Amino acid sequence: MKRRDFIGKGASLFASCCLLQKLPLSAMPVVNESMKKNRNRVGIQLYSVKDDLAKDFTGSLQKLSDIGFSSVETYGFDGNQFLGKRLKEVSSILDGMGMTLSGTHTGSAILSADTGAKEWDSWKKCCDELKAAGGKRAIQSWLPATKTTDDLKRLADHYNRVGEVCKKSGIKFGHHNHSAEMKTVEGNVIFDYLIQNTDPSLVFFQFDLGHALEAGADCVAYLKKYPGRFTCWHATDHKINSGSRELGKGDVDFDALFALAKQSGLEELVVEQESGDDRFACCKVDFDFLRKYPWARIK
Protein backbone atom coordinates (compact mmCIF):
# COMPACT_ATOMS: atom_id res chain seq x y z
CA MET A 1 0.00 0.00 0.00
CA LYS A 2 1.32 3.47 -0.89
CA ARG A 3 2.09 5.83 1.97
CA ARG A 4 -0.50 8.39 0.85
CA ASP A 5 -3.16 5.64 0.53
CA PHE A 6 -2.29 4.43 4.03
CA ILE A 7 -2.64 7.95 5.41
CA GLY A 8 -6.01 8.37 3.70
CA LYS A 9 -7.36 5.04 4.95
CA GLY A 10 -6.05 5.76 8.44
CA ALA A 11 -7.83 9.12 8.53
CA SER A 12 -11.10 7.49 7.40
CA LEU A 13 -10.81 4.82 10.10
CA PHE A 14 -10.18 7.46 12.76
CA ALA A 15 -13.26 9.38 11.62
CA SER A 16 -15.36 6.22 11.99
CA CYS A 17 -14.04 5.71 15.51
CA CYS A 18 -14.91 9.31 16.38
CA LEU A 19 -18.49 8.78 15.26
CA LEU A 20 -18.85 5.52 17.18
CA GLN A 21 -17.50 7.08 20.36
CA LYS A 22 -19.34 10.39 19.76
CA LEU A 23 -16.06 12.31 19.64
CA PRO A 24 -15.90 15.58 17.70
CA LEU A 25 -14.40 15.26 14.24
CA SER A 26 -12.21 18.21 15.20
CA ALA A 27 -10.23 15.64 17.16
CA MET A 28 -9.08 14.12 13.89
CA PRO A 29 -5.42 14.67 13.00
CA VAL A 30 -4.85 17.08 10.15
CA VAL A 31 -3.29 15.35 7.14
CA ASN A 32 -0.41 17.39 5.77
CA GLU A 33 -1.08 17.81 2.05
CA SER A 34 2.65 17.94 1.36
CA MET A 35 2.90 14.30 2.50
CA LYS A 36 0.87 13.32 -0.54
CA LYS A 37 3.42 14.83 -2.89
CA ASN A 38 6.33 13.05 -4.50
CA ARG A 39 9.19 14.82 -2.72
CA ASN A 40 12.18 15.14 -5.02
CA ARG A 41 13.52 17.32 -7.83
CA VAL A 42 13.09 14.92 -10.74
CA GLY A 43 10.52 15.77 -13.42
CA ILE A 44 9.61 14.05 -16.68
CA GLN A 45 8.93 15.37 -20.19
CA LEU A 46 5.70 13.66 -21.26
CA TYR A 47 6.95 13.22 -24.82
CA SER A 48 8.85 10.28 -23.32
CA VAL A 49 5.56 8.34 -23.12
CA LYS A 50 3.56 10.05 -25.86
CA ASP A 51 2.27 6.80 -27.40
CA ASP A 52 1.08 5.56 -24.02
CA LEU A 53 -0.63 8.88 -23.25
CA ALA A 54 -2.62 8.57 -26.46
CA LYS A 55 -3.97 5.21 -25.29
CA ASP A 56 -4.53 5.93 -21.59
CA PHE A 57 -3.86 9.49 -20.48
CA THR A 58 -4.67 9.22 -16.78
CA GLY A 59 -3.28 5.72 -16.39
CA SER A 60 0.02 6.75 -17.95
CA LEU A 61 0.37 9.71 -15.61
CA GLN A 62 -0.35 7.43 -12.66
CA LYS A 63 2.47 5.11 -13.74
CA LEU A 64 4.88 8.05 -13.80
CA SER A 65 3.72 9.07 -10.34
CA ASP A 66 4.21 5.52 -9.08
CA ILE A 67 7.80 5.62 -10.36
CA GLY A 68 8.27 8.71 -8.20
CA PHE A 69 8.47 11.71 -10.53
CA SER A 70 7.50 14.95 -8.79
CA SER A 71 6.53 16.99 -11.86
CA VAL A 72 5.79 16.75 -15.56
CA GLU A 73 6.46 18.94 -18.56
CA THR A 74 3.99 18.92 -21.44
CA TYR A 75 4.82 19.34 -25.12
CA GLY A 76 3.37 20.84 -28.28
CA PHE A 77 1.18 23.31 -26.38
CA ASP A 78 -0.42 25.82 -28.73
CA GLY A 79 -1.97 28.07 -26.11
CA ASN A 80 -5.25 26.17 -26.09
CA GLN A 81 -4.97 22.49 -25.24
CA PHE A 82 -2.59 19.61 -24.59
CA LEU A 83 -3.88 16.34 -26.04
CA GLY A 84 -7.44 17.66 -25.89
CA LYS A 85 -7.22 19.00 -22.35
CA ARG A 86 -6.73 22.46 -20.89
CA LEU A 87 -3.54 22.73 -18.88
CA LYS A 88 -5.54 23.50 -15.76
CA GLU A 89 -7.36 20.19 -16.17
CA VAL A 90 -4.04 18.38 -16.60
CA SER A 91 -2.74 20.10 -13.46
CA SER A 92 -5.78 18.97 -11.49
CA ILE A 93 -5.21 15.36 -12.53
CA LEU A 94 -1.55 15.61 -11.56
CA ASP A 95 -2.37 17.11 -8.18
CA GLY A 96 -4.40 14.06 -7.27
CA MET A 97 -1.37 11.90 -8.04
CA GLY A 98 1.20 13.85 -6.04
CA MET A 99 2.75 15.62 -9.03
CA THR A 100 2.78 19.15 -10.42
CA LEU A 101 2.98 20.78 -13.86
CA SER A 102 6.39 22.44 -14.18
CA GLY A 103 6.00 23.92 -17.65
CA THR A 104 5.53 23.16 -21.31
CA HIS A 105 7.28 22.99 -24.63
CA THR A 106 5.42 25.25 -27.03
CA GLY A 107 3.89 24.15 -30.31
CA SER A 108 5.65 24.82 -33.60
CA ALA A 109 3.12 27.45 -34.64
CA ILE A 110 3.64 29.65 -31.62
CA LEU A 111 6.93 31.14 -32.82
CA SER A 112 6.26 32.14 -36.41
CA ALA A 113 8.09 34.39 -38.83
CA ASP A 114 5.31 36.93 -38.34
CA THR A 115 6.17 39.06 -35.33
CA GLY A 116 2.96 41.04 -35.52
CA ALA A 117 0.41 41.55 -32.78
CA LYS A 118 -1.24 38.17 -33.37
CA GLU A 119 1.88 36.31 -32.28
CA TRP A 120 2.24 38.31 -29.09
CA ASP A 121 -1.40 37.61 -28.29
CA SER A 122 -0.62 33.90 -28.75
CA TRP A 123 2.29 34.10 -26.34
CA LYS A 124 0.18 36.01 -23.82
CA LYS A 125 -2.54 33.36 -24.02
CA CYS A 126 0.03 30.59 -23.64
CA CYS A 127 1.42 32.25 -20.52
CA ASP A 128 -2.01 32.88 -19.03
CA GLU A 129 -3.03 29.25 -19.52
CA LEU A 130 0.26 28.01 -18.11
CA LYS A 131 0.12 30.27 -15.07
CA ALA A 132 -3.49 29.29 -14.32
CA ALA A 133 -2.32 25.67 -14.26
CA GLY A 134 0.54 26.41 -11.88
CA GLY A 135 3.27 26.05 -14.51
CA LYS A 136 6.36 28.24 -14.49
CA ARG A 137 8.26 27.69 -17.75
CA ALA A 138 7.38 28.12 -21.45
CA ILE A 139 10.07 26.58 -23.62
CA GLN A 140 10.80 26.90 -27.33
CA SER A 141 11.75 23.35 -28.27
CA TRP A 142 13.09 23.74 -31.79
CA LEU A 143 15.51 26.03 -33.60
CA PRO A 144 14.01 28.24 -36.34
CA ALA A 145 15.95 28.49 -39.60
CA THR A 146 19.23 30.34 -39.03
CA LYS A 147 21.47 30.58 -42.08
CA THR A 148 23.17 33.94 -41.54
CA THR A 149 24.40 36.11 -38.69
CA ASP A 150 21.46 38.43 -39.38
CA ASP A 151 19.13 35.47 -38.80
CA LEU A 152 20.83 34.83 -35.48
CA LYS A 153 20.53 38.47 -34.46
CA ARG A 154 16.84 38.57 -35.34
CA LEU A 155 16.24 35.38 -33.39
CA ALA A 156 18.10 36.61 -30.30
CA ASP A 157 16.18 39.90 -30.40
CA HIS A 158 12.95 37.98 -30.86
CA TYR A 159 13.70 35.75 -27.89
CA ASN A 160 14.33 38.80 -25.72
CA ARG A 161 10.96 40.20 -26.69
CA VAL A 162 9.20 36.87 -26.07
CA GLY A 163 10.96 36.77 -22.70
CA GLU A 164 9.53 40.19 -21.85
CA VAL A 165 5.99 39.05 -22.69
CA CYS A 166 6.40 35.91 -20.58
CA LYS A 167 7.99 37.75 -17.66
CA LYS A 168 5.06 40.18 -17.46
CA SER A 169 2.80 37.15 -17.03
CA GLY A 170 5.02 35.62 -14.35
CA ILE A 171 6.37 32.92 -16.67
CA LYS A 172 10.00 32.15 -17.52
CA PHE A 173 10.89 31.73 -21.20
CA GLY A 174 13.58 29.36 -22.39
CA HIS A 175 15.11 27.61 -25.38
CA HIS A 176 15.64 23.85 -25.55
CA ASN A 177 18.58 22.69 -27.64
CA HIS A 178 19.06 19.69 -29.86
CA SER A 179 22.11 19.08 -32.04
CA ALA A 180 21.59 21.87 -34.58
CA GLU A 181 22.51 24.59 -32.08
CA MET A 182 26.11 23.35 -32.07
CA LYS A 183 26.55 24.14 -35.77
CA THR A 184 28.44 27.21 -36.95
CA VAL A 185 26.93 30.07 -38.96
CA GLU A 186 29.38 32.55 -40.45
CA GLY A 187 31.91 31.81 -37.73
CA ASN A 188 29.38 31.81 -34.87
CA VAL A 189 28.38 28.71 -32.93
CA ILE A 190 24.60 29.12 -32.87
CA PHE A 191 24.25 28.08 -29.23
CA ASP A 192 26.93 30.49 -28.01
CA TYR A 193 25.54 33.35 -30.06
CA LEU A 194 22.06 32.93 -28.59
CA ILE A 195 23.40 32.68 -25.05
CA GLN A 196 25.62 35.73 -25.47
CA ASN A 197 22.96 37.88 -27.15
CA THR A 198 19.93 37.20 -25.00
CA ASP A 199 19.14 38.86 -21.69
CA PRO A 200 19.73 36.46 -18.75
CA SER A 201 16.77 38.02 -16.94
CA LEU A 202 14.47 37.20 -19.87
CA VAL A 203 15.78 33.99 -21.46
CA PHE A 204 17.09 30.78 -19.91
CA PHE A 205 18.37 27.69 -21.68
CA GLN A 206 17.08 24.19 -21.07
CA PHE A 207 20.26 22.19 -21.60
CA ASP A 208 19.60 18.88 -23.35
CA LEU A 209 22.70 17.02 -22.26
CA GLY A 210 22.52 14.02 -24.58
CA HIS A 211 21.89 16.00 -27.75
CA ALA A 212 24.65 18.46 -26.90
CA LEU A 213 27.08 15.59 -26.36
CA GLU A 214 26.00 13.88 -29.58
CA ALA A 215 26.78 17.09 -31.47
CA GLY A 216 30.30 17.18 -30.05
CA ALA A 217 29.77 19.78 -27.32
CA ASP A 218 31.56 19.69 -23.97
CA CYS A 219 28.65 19.97 -21.52
CA VAL A 220 30.87 20.58 -18.50
CA ALA A 221 32.68 23.39 -20.32
CA TYR A 222 29.34 25.04 -21.17
CA LEU A 223 28.24 25.01 -17.53
CA LYS A 224 31.52 26.60 -16.49
CA LYS A 225 31.46 29.18 -19.29
CA TYR A 226 27.87 30.34 -18.78
CA PRO A 227 26.94 30.05 -15.07
CA GLY A 228 23.33 30.92 -14.41
CA ARG A 229 22.11 30.40 -17.97
CA PHE A 230 21.29 26.68 -17.76
CA THR A 231 18.75 26.79 -14.94
CA CYS A 232 16.98 23.71 -16.29
CA TRP A 233 18.49 20.51 -17.68
CA HIS A 234 16.91 17.88 -19.87
CA ALA A 235 18.49 14.71 -18.53
CA THR A 236 19.09 12.62 -21.63
CA ASP A 237 21.93 10.22 -22.32
CA HIS A 238 23.51 9.28 -25.62
CA LYS A 239 26.15 6.83 -26.66
CA ILE A 240 28.26 8.80 -29.11
CA ASN A 241 27.39 7.80 -32.69
CA SER A 242 24.89 5.24 -31.38
CA GLY A 243 21.92 7.34 -30.25
CA SER A 244 19.78 7.55 -27.13
CA ARG A 245 20.27 5.40 -24.05
CA GLU A 246 18.83 5.13 -20.56
CA LEU A 247 20.53 7.47 -18.10
CA GLY A 248 23.89 6.18 -16.96
CA LYS A 249 24.26 3.88 -19.96
CA GLY A 250 25.60 6.47 -22.39
CA ASP A 251 28.55 8.83 -22.48
CA VAL A 252 27.17 11.84 -20.58
CA ASP A 253 29.36 12.49 -17.52
CA PHE A 254 26.63 13.04 -14.94
CA ASP A 255 29.08 12.94 -12.02
CA ALA A 256 30.99 15.93 -13.40
CA LEU A 257 27.78 17.77 -14.29
CA PHE A 258 26.13 17.36 -10.89
CA ALA A 259 29.33 18.54 -9.25
CA LEU A 260 28.58 21.86 -10.98
CA ALA A 261 24.81 21.89 -10.38
CA LYS A 262 24.83 24.51 -7.64
CA GLN A 263 27.50 26.65 -9.28
CA SER A 264 25.66 26.61 -12.60
CA GLY A 265 22.37 27.67 -11.00
CA LEU A 266 20.41 24.50 -11.72
CA GLU A 267 16.78 24.86 -10.59
CA GLU A 268 14.96 22.10 -12.41
CA LEU A 269 15.76 18.63 -13.76
CA VAL A 270 13.58 17.00 -16.42
CA VAL A 271 14.04 13.46 -17.75
CA GLU A 272 13.38 12.81 -21.42
CA GLN A 273 13.57 9.18 -22.53
CA GLU A 274 13.79 8.97 -26.32
CA SER A 275 14.15 5.23 -26.90
CA GLY A 276 13.11 1.84 -25.53
CA ASP A 277 10.22 -0.54 -26.16
CA ASP A 278 8.87 -0.23 -22.61
CA ARG A 279 9.16 3.47 -21.90
CA PHE A 280 7.93 3.20 -18.33
CA ALA A 281 10.60 0.63 -17.50
CA CYS A 282 13.20 2.92 -19.08
CA CYS A 283 11.87 5.92 -17.14
CA LYS A 284 12.15 3.91 -13.92
CA VAL A 285 15.82 3.25 -14.72
CA ASP A 286 16.29 6.98 -15.37
CA PHE A 287 14.58 8.01 -12.14
CA ASP A 288 16.50 5.53 -10.01
CA PHE A 289 19.77 6.65 -11.60
CA LEU A 290 19.17 10.32 -10.81
CA ARG A 291 18.09 9.64 -7.25
CA LYS A 292 21.64 8.69 -6.33
CA TYR A 293 22.61 12.36 -6.66
CA PRO A 294 21.84 14.46 -3.54
CA TRP A 295 20.70 17.43 -5.65
CA ALA A 296 17.91 15.34 -7.17
CA ARG A 297 16.70 13.96 -3.85
CA ILE A 298 16.38 17.20 -1.92
CA LYS A 299 13.18 19.23 -2.16
Give residue-wise pLDDT tens across range 129-148.
Answer: 999 999 999 999 999 889 99
Average pLDDT over residues 208-214: 97
What pLDDT, on a 0 to 100 scale, did the predictor assign at position 67?
Answer: 98
What are the backbone angles phi and psi of residue 173, rounded to the nearest 5°?
A: -105, 135
Distance CA 64, CA 280 (A): 7
| pLDDT tens digits along 85-96 | 999 999 999 999
With bands split at pLDDT 50, 70 and 90, how would you rate the model's confidence at 17? Answer: very low
Residue 206, strand partner residues: 176, 232
Instruction: Please state, for a pLDDT cut of 90, what percent of the chain lies above it.
Output: 77
The mean pLDDT value of the chain amounts to: 88
Q: Sketch the domain layout of the chain as residue ranges.
A: 1-36, 38-297
Residue 82: helix, strand or coil by DSSP?
A: strand
271 beta partners: 44, 235
CB atoms within 10 A of CB 113: 9
State the amino acid at position 261 in one-letter form. Answer: A
pTM, rounded to two decimals: 0.86
Contacts of 139 (CB under 8 A, 6+ apart): 73, 103, 104, 105, 106, 173, 174, 175, 176, 206, 232
Alpha-carbon span 138 to 232, nearest angstrom: 12
Would you state the CATH architecture of domain 38-297? Alpha-Beta Barrel (3.20)
- What is the radius of gyration, based on Cα positions, of the chain? 21
